[in-house]
Amino acid sequence: MLLRWLIRHLCTTPAELRVVLHAIREYRLHSVVPFDQRDPSWTFDRRITRSVRLSLLVGLLVVHAENPQVFAVAWIALPLALLLGLLRLAGGLR
């Protein structure tokens, strides 16, 4: 549900959705190839690298594709770490 919501709100056009899905598919194919046979000049599409919104979405989807447990824990750990950091800055924690 969360991924679907992120995709729907970060991809504003169907073309952006196609670019993101193609990038994830290409990343998965690239990661299957043995390390010594990989193309060193491979990068994500220029439209993704120029857009912060699409870069964020692709990064989240890559993390989810590589390890879904890390993705699930990050939604709890990151806000908690931010809260603890703010409390420390405010002087609530020593």
Q: Which two tokens stand for residue 6?
A: 């992120």
Which distant-in-sequence residues (6+ apart) come within 8 Å of 56 by Cβ? 10
76 located within any domain: no
53 located within any domain: yes
pLDDT of residue 44: 81
18 located within any domain: yes
Contacts for 34-38 with beta carbons within 8 Å, 24 or more apart?
none
When pLDDT is averaged across residues 10-20 and rounded to a whole number, the result is 91
Crossing angle between the packed helical segments 14-32 and 52-66, to the nearest 10 degrees: 40
**Range(s) of the domain holding residue 38:** 2-67
Per-residue pLDDT band at 93 (split at 50, 70, 90): low
75 located within any domain: no
pLDDT digits (tens, 9 = 90+) for 29-78: 888 888 788 887 778 888 888 888 888 888 888 888 888 888 778 778 77
74 located within any domain: no
CB 57 within 8 A of CB 7: yes
Q: In total, how many domains does the chain have?
A: 1
82 located within any domain: no
78 located within any domain: no
